[in-house]
Structure 1
């Protein structure tokens, strides 16, 4: 029966291995459903030997239940259900299961309580795959149909208890039903925990993707694309508010020698230490990142040439005190800087070109200095 149709999982973020994992999960649940129908058949058989019902309801219920499960299993295994949002087709499987319970309730009123409990389990399970509104609709349909069957039959729900065997069987079935409720609740809690875990994984993955999209992978500071975006935004703001804006291109001196003499790993460590040291001295309103290779760009908002060199010299001093031992014993690094202030009507490309020209003069004048354009 479909009360253990635990494959009704809410949609989760897709991963490459997810379809196979979900398919195996649904097929395993169908096996559990088959076992569940067999358990119901055993209970009905016990009622038969207790003299409550005949063989026909036992065989009909068990056979129909297993048929529903086998057909559902075959559809899921063939991949046909992949076209549906709920690939376990719990909703569609519930319809014949519901009809089976109601039919048996009308056919065998002597054990109608059993099928009412099974119907309860069916819809408890179904709510795992439905939103609140559809769950209410499902509940209304189940209640209406059950009330209709009871009205047609004309007898109230009956629990066999006329003799000791019937009392024992009814009690055992009630205990089994409680176990199924506990199992469904436990599964629901498991699924909720898994969904939360996957939600956290997705959030972490999104954060990593965002970090890679906007930051340099080696140094962790802003990458070239993000710098250009930030610079264009600041230029637009400067155009509107007429505030001052300066950019500085910082280039590590003789960086090629570091790679050639100490190796590229040492070069990477140099870039990391350089970026980490300078980024700690950058104001929150400013933007600092890797412009390309060993060049870094500093966008200083609300800053004119009269004050722009102060933070740059502070950075230069911080480099002399930085710990470069991870690169090589006795190693130290300096940088040359090209500085330019934005002029009204000037584009980002023009501003950067003037800063680059200033950097070229700083290199030409002996490095480890700042020149202004």
Structure 2
């Protein structure tokens, strides 16, 4: 199965092949009214089909995938321009048709050419066309002496304009697809960024983000002389809730608890799910007298909450250990002291707060 990029390259090359055929219709019309020989459009059609078949086969096989120009745009444009130059030499009396046609492959180049490539193409084409026109001299003509030739000229110009519009439509389609892909990529990137920093179940900060915030706060405290506290909150007997009511109810409890914890603290404090039924707080600029009051307010909010709306007879309480950061202490050390205080709260009967000595 072809990958999307290869399909786009094949589509563009196929459109170029169709464009060969459309462009040659005008030459067949001139041949029909006797302006040029039928050999001219037939030879140009044959050359176009041969080149296009080679390009399609090379792209479809995947052999161009690792090339600098996987679409072979430069080679395709060169081939198309070369065919038009040869056409002028074969039928100088309709030179203007080949000059008009030369802009069509250049329009395809918009899909892939760089500024440097366009500059090179301009120089080469200018030299080549000037050389051909100088070589032909007086043989160059515009065959519009009869009504039939005038009609063919008008029809040919209409076809040229239509081919330009078709190419621009293709460019617009590719740009639209690119816009959609970029939007999807941006959405996916935003989603990945959220998953990297937020707990998927509760929507609050996850452990990784909390550790980053804690490290930043420690650095700020060392720089400014401010202080902060860390609290670890654990749901009492949470295993019993899962065993008795199921993990689905347990997830609902954790989500409701996360919202409660956030609402019970100040806007400057940070709440995160540390893992399982454990949550952590980063409490900034708390003094020793205000800290017990704030943590007790949180504990009471959890205890008073109407948990029976989730399941009849359900009651949820939490235990917490809190530690104030000491000067020179690492983030791991302050967390360990908070964890020790949490175990003291559990040993004291749960549903209580313990603050580590400072």
TM-score, length of structure 2 as denominator length: 0.91
User: In the aligned structure 1, how far is the partner of 2:136 from the partner of 2:289?
Assistant: 95
Counterpart pick for 1:171 among 138, 154, 158: 154
Runs of at least 4 residues of structure 1 off by over 6 A? none
Deviation at 1:155, TM superposition (A): 5.0
Structure 1: distance between partners of 2:76 and 2:89: 21
Structure 2 CA distance, aligned partners of 1:157 and 1:224? 79
* Residue pair 1:277, 1:318 contacting (<8 A) in 2 also: yes
Q: CA deviation at 1:62?
A: 0.9
How far 1:351 sits from its partner (Å)?
A: 0.8
Q: Distance in 1 between matches of 2:104 and 2:306?
A: 67
CA deviations 1:285-304 (Å, max 9, x no partner) are 43321111100111122333
Q: Map 1:269-284; keep pairs closer than 5 Å.
A: 269-284=252-267
Is contact 1:269–1:326 with CA below 8 Å preserved after alignment?
no
In structure 2, the CA distance between the partners of 1:193 and 1:28, relative to structure 1 (3 Å rule), is closer
Q: Is the 8 A contact 1:123 1:139 kept in 2?
A: no
RMSD: 2.3
CA distance in 2, matches of 1:90, 1:326: 66
Which of 88, 93, 96 is matched with 1:105 structurally?
88
Residue of structure 2 in register with 1:29 after alignment = 12
Residue 53 (structure 1) shift = 0.9
Moved more, 193-202 or 29-38: 29-38
Alpha-carbon distance in 2 for matches of 1:160, 1:332: 96
Q: Distance in 1 between matches of 2:174 and 2:312?
A: 55
Alignment size in residue pairs:
356
Where does residue 10 of structure 1 map in the other structure?
A: none
Structure 1 residues 177 and 250, CA gap change in structure 2 (3 angstroms): same
Q: Are 1:189 and 2:191 matched, yes or no? A: no
- Aligned residue in 2 for 1:81: 64
Aligned to 1:71: 54
Query: Tell me, what secondary structure is at the counterpart of 2:87?
Result: helix
1:45 is aligned, of 28, 52, 60, to: 28
Structure 1 327/142 Cα, relative in aligned 2: closer, same or farther at 3 Å?
A: farther
Say if 1:111 and 1:337 are closer, same or farther in 2 by CA, change over 3 A.
Answer: same
User: Whole-Å Cα distance in 2 between the matches of residues 99 and 212 of structure 1?
Assistant: 55
Say if 2:22 and 2:159, in contact at 8 Å, map to a contact too.
Answer: no
- Which residue does the alignment assign to 2:232? 249
Measure how far apart 1:338 and its partner are.
Answer: 0.5
Matches of residues 351-362 of structure 1 in structure 2 within 5 Å?
351-362=334-345
Who is 2:243 aligned against?
A: 260
Residue pair 1:94, 1:126 contacting (<8 A) in 2 also: yes
Q: 1:338 to 1:85 in 2, by over 3 A?
A: farther
Which ranges of structure 2 fall in alignment gaps of 5 or more residues? none
